[in-house]
Structure 1
Amino acid sequence: MNSTIALIVNVPTLLLLYVLIYFTQALSGKRQFYGVSLNSDYFEENEFKSLDKKFKLLVTVGFILFTILTLVYIYVFKAYEASSLVPMLGFCLYQFLVYIHVHNKVKLLKSELVLNNPNIELEKTRVILDTDFMNEKNRIINRFSLMFYIPVIILTLVGVYVLTKYNSIPDTIPTHWGPSGAADAFSEKSFGKILASVGMMVGLGFVICISSIYSLKSRVKLSIDSIDASKKANLHYLNMFAYTFLVLNIGCVVMFIDILLATLNASDVNPSIIWPCTFIIIVASIYQTYLYYKSPTKSKNAVYSVDDEDSLWIFGSIYNNPNDPSLFVTKRFGVGWTINIGSTKGKILFILPFMIILISLVFLV
């Protein structure tokens, strides 16, 4: 990697991250404001608008500072690898601290206003249970769950194949590849390193697969205004979410397989595979963001459920409810789903990706 490539890759990536963070509240739906349950009629009140502006101002300042840091890493220290890691992680940590600060301000403001105006709370409507709707939802989930497992099973078989071919793998193996697909970091072969590489690819493949399935299983909230129309809309969006998850799963698995085969042959990764897969994953993620934004589950008139309780969320972003059987629920701030760490399965799934990456890096370094 040189300074030009580092600049072309890192600054636009940081800009994209900034844009996503800047508009996160706008993408979060009409039920929560910076992670706090709030009637959307009050989003435009001056007190809440000023907090929204404060968040965006602080995030903008952070983006400028971390962009400058990126340029310093590239042109002053010539640390191209660090320029793609340190500023990015630093900016993510910075924006999370800014979010926590604004979240706490919103929570305090709500507690002050609710004393004189109880309408600021979400309307506690009754939960709507419809067996026909739930059966149709489960049929969709079961059908796509099988499709999700097929790519990860193929990935596992490729991983096993790589392990059985250990003796034929060259003594020096690549451990990193640049944007062109060419290997730019190498290490001496050992069974632990090959096993770590296979374990990380297969492990992450399974985590992505399981997360996709349980995201589809997350609680769906029908609208109190028109039950029939809401059922049709929710089933439509569930189908569309399932298709995008399928594309994401296949894209990730194909990339992981290409990396495993490159490790097996001690060769470059195939750019004609890696780049199209990356493009497809990005497009699918953007489309899924659009679906999430339009999803009826996040609409103002969706029914009230247990995950709308502020007391069950840590910083409005981590759901902790041992009494809720749902493993995944929709995020309060941002796009997508988050794990219920109140359950044993949730704790395991929350920690598992970090453990897979950490253990793999220990063996690969």
Structure 2
Amino acid sequence: MMSGTAVVQVVIPFVILLMAWLMPALTGPTLPFGVRTPPAHANAPVIAEQRRAYRWWVGGVGGAALAAELVCCLVFPSTPLFAGASTAIAVVSTTGYLRARRAILTVKLGEDWYGGLRQVVAVDTTLRTEPVRYPWRWAAPALLVPVFSAVLAAVEYPSMPARLPMHYATHGQADRLADKSIGTAFAPVFIQLALTGLLLLVTRLALRSRAALDPARPATSAARHRRFVVRTAGSVMLLGACVNLGMLAAAWQTWHGNLSFSPLPVLAPITAGLLVVVAIALRTGQGGSRLATSEPDDAAGGPADPRVVAPDDDRHWRAGGLFYLNRQDPSLLVAKRFGIGWTLNFGNPRCLLLLVGLAVFITVLNLIGH
């Protein structure tokens, strides 16, 4: 029989597999597998065929990786390797995505899907004059957990053992101890604060990300964009709160000098956070594609012109559509073509500064952890 820890560690790769399998349904109909498609070709036979092939591939091979993880948990319940299963599922889903994208691109170019269409860039200036407000009520839990952790650490500090475990080996036994001090005792709190600060910065940038508007339905797509950025940024902050709770659970074991580490209380809130992200993504869709709005299709409220389409910008998405590089686009973050959330514009010089800052951030976290 599997332990509670093993159950949680099977759930995490299962959530990743579920998200990968659902991904084609979360992206908009004009971006199948990251390929910009005119609305008239959104139901092309090749797209439906590649969706089926992708789901069979991810469900079959990814499911086998999950089954192997389950067997490992049953045979070796004390040493589950969920990271291996999660990595395998990520590789499988990426491979399936690249295969489907290549097949759709071949048909798109061969049949000249954009021939005779009018490619138009739509801009909503109100996104700058009346920007989306930061969803502080979503961010509050992520901010409150580090505060609670700091108070709890201060209360527990006098009774903490003289030597605190600072690192645990893969078998869950402490292999490095350090003298009790403000630095060692409050290290988890410092990491929580750093992580929360990073998430606040990223979500702030995401709320200012460029809206990919449909020129035939600018009002509708602008309304969807606003709701998408709030919900998705909010889900990221809620996940951050769950990660902070997991770190608090790990810190509690450290503060009591536990030489044997139990991952269940750490993984349980993180798993719950992942499930929340999946649920919000299912309701919202990438870019708000699954949201219904009451906005008119255009300023006059009339029907959309089928000849007016968003520009074919596939050339800016490199390495199979996984990286966005456009030096003419001032945006730092843009919505992913396949997936939930945002990615960097690697053609923006500020991207380098952000990556350097992230590297410094990770280095500081490692120093705090040691």
Q: TM-score w.r.t. structure 1 length?
A: 0.73
The one-letter amino acid paired with 2:178 is K
Contact 2:178/2:184 (8 A) holds in 1: yes
User: In the alignment, what sits opposite 1:287?
Assistant: 280
User: In the alignment, what sits opposite 1:205?
Assistant: 196
Per mean C-alpha deviation after superposition, the further-off stretch among 88-97 and 255-264 is 255-264
The reply to whether residue 317 of structure 1 matches residue 322 of structure 2 is yes
CA drift of 1:28 comes to 0.8
Task: Name the CA distance, whole Å, in 2 between partners of 1:25 and 1:50.
Answer: 12
Per mean C-alpha deviation after superposition, the further-off stretch among 252-261 and 293-302 is 293-302
Task: Name the CA distance, whole Å, in 2 between partners of 1:168 and 1:13.
Answer: 32
- In structure 1, the residue corresponding to 2:173 is in which secondary structure? strand
CA deviations on 1:59-80 (whole Å, 9 max, x unpaired) are: 122123213421442345x274
The reply to whether residue 341 of structure 1 matches residue 339 of structure 2 is no
CA drift of 1:218 comes to 1.0
Task: Name the CA distance, whole Å, in 2 between partners of 1:297 and 1:74.
Answer: 37
Q: Are the structure 2 counterparts of residues 275 and 107 from structure 1 closer, same or farther at C-alpha, using a change threshold of 3 Å?
A: same
Note the 1:119-130 alignment, pairs <5 A: 119=115, 124-130=119-125
Q: Are the structure 2 counterparts of residues 364 and 239 from structure 1 closer, same or farther at C-alpha, using a change threshold of 3 Å?
A: closer
CA drift of 1:14 comes to 3.2
The one-letter amino acid paired with 2:345 is N
Per mean C-alpha deviation after superposition, the further-off stretch among 103-112 and 227-236 is 227-236
Task: Name the CA distance, whole Å, in 2 between partners of 1:14 and 1:148.
Answer: 26
CA drift of 1:176 comes to 5.8
Query: Which of the pair is proportionally richer in helix?
Result: 1
User: In the alignment, what sits opposite 1:216?
Assistant: 207
The one-letter amino acid paired with 2:131 is K
- In structure 1, the residue corresponding to 2:204 is in which secondary structure? helix
Task: Name the CA distance, whole Å, in 2 between partners of 1:272 and 1:6.
Answer: 8
* Percent of aligned pairs with the same amino acid: 15
User: In the alignment, what sits opposite 1:108?
Assistant: 106
How many equivalent pairs are there?
350
Contact 2:141/2:241 (8 A) holds in 1: no
CA deviations on 1:178-231 (whole Å, 9 max, x unpaired) are: 9xxxx9432312689779756654443333222211111111244444555555
Contact 1:218/1:326 (8 A) holds in 2: yes
CA deviations on 1:302-326 (whole Å, 9 max, x unpaired) are: 99777x6111112112212233221
The one-letter amino acid paired with 2:79 is E
CA drift of 1:11 comes to 3.8
The reply to whether residue 188 of structure 1 matches residue 143 of structure 2 is no
Note the 1:253-332 alignment, pairs <5 A: 253-257=244-248, 259-260=250-251, 262-266=253-257, 275=268, 279=272, 282-283=275-276, 285-293=278-286, 295=288, 309-314=313-318, 315-332=320-337
Contact 2:34/2:338 (8 A) holds in 1: yes
Q: TM-score w.r.t. structure 2 length?
A: 0.72
The one-letter amino acid paired with 1:336 is G
Task: Name the CA distance, whole Å, in 2 between partners of 1:323 and 1:125.
Answer: 16
User: In the alignment, what sits opposite 1:85?
Assistant: 83
Gaps of 5+ in 2: 298-303
CA drift of 1:7 comes to 5.1
Task: Name the CA distance, whole Å, in 1 between partners of 2:13 and 2:145.
Answer: 34
Per mean C-alpha deviation after superposition, the further-off stretch among 184-193 and 39-48 is 184-193
Q: Are the structure 2 counterparts of residues 289 and 223 from structure 1 closer, same or farther at C-alpha, using a change threshold of 3 Å?
A: same
Task: Name the CA distance, whole Å, in 1 between partners of 2:5 and 2:224.
Answer: 44
Task: Name the CA distance, whole Å, in 1 between partners of 2:65 and 2:366.
Answer: 26
User: In the alignment, what sits opposite 2:13?
Assistant: 14
Note the 1:169-184 alignment, pairs <5 A: 170-173=162-165, 175=167, 184=172
Q: Are the structure 2 counterparts of residues 97 and 202 from structure 1 closer, same or farther at C-alpha, using a change threshold of 3 Å?
A: farther
The reply to whether residue 135 of structure 1 matches residue 129 of structure 2 is yes
Contact 1:222/1:296 (8 A) holds in 2: no
Contact 1:201/1:256 (8 A) holds in 2: yes
Q: Are the structure 2 counterparts of residues 157 and 7 from structure 1 closer, same or farther at C-alpha, using a change threshold of 3 Å?
A: closer
Per mean C-alpha deviation after superposition, the further-off stretch among 341-350 and 56-65 is 341-350
Task: Name the CA distance, whole Å, in 1 between partners of 2:11 and 2:262.
Answer: 23
Q: Are the structure 2 counterparts of residues 60 and 27 from structure 1 closer, same or farther at C-alpha, using a change threshold of 3 Å?
A: same
User: In the alignment, what sits opposite 1:42?
Assistant: 41
Task: Name the CA distance, whole Å, in 1 between partners of 2:5 and 2:238.
Answer: 29
The one-letter amino acid paired with 1:323 is Q
Superposed CA RMSD in Å reads 4.6
Task: Name the CA distance, whole Å, in 2 between partners of 1:290 and 1:27.
Answer: 9
Task: Name the CA distance, whole Å, in 1 between partners of 2:20 and 2:278.
Answer: 15
Contact 1:222/1:297 (8 A) holds in 2: no
The reply to whether residue 26 of structure 1 matches residue 25 of structure 2 is yes
Contact 2:235/2:276 (8 A) holds in 1: no
- In structure 2, the residue corresponding to 1:60 is in which secondary structure? helix
Gaps of 5+ in 1: none
Contact 1:208/1:249 (8 A) holds in 2: yes
